[in-house]
Amino acid sequence: MEDLVRLARTMMIRAYAPYSKFHVGAAVRDEEGGIHGGCNVENAAYPQGLCAEAAAIAALVAAGRRRVLECAVIGPGPEVITPCGGCRQKLREFGAEDMKVHLCGPDGLHCTVTLGSLLPMSFGPLHVA
pLDDT of 32 reads 96
Q: What is the dihedral of CA 71, 112, 77, 88, to 10 degrees?
A: 50
Predicted confidence pLDDT, tens digits, the chain (129 residues)? 899 999 999 999 999 999 999 999 999 999 999 999 999 999 999 878 999 999 999 999 999 999 999 999 999 988 889 999 999 999 999 999 999 999 999 888 899 999 999 999 888 777 777
pLDDT of 48 reads 87
pLDDT of 9 reads 95
Q: What is the pTM of this model?
A: 0.93
Domain ranges of the chain: 2-127
- CATH architecture, domain defined by 2-127: 3-Layer(aba) Sandwich (3.40)
pLDDT of 122 reads 84
Concerning whether 53 is annotated as a catalytic residue, the answer is yes
pLDDT of 22 reads 94
Q: What is the dihedral of CA 46, 51, 9, 105, to 10 degrees?
A: 90
- Catalytic residue among 2, 32, 42, 53, which? 53
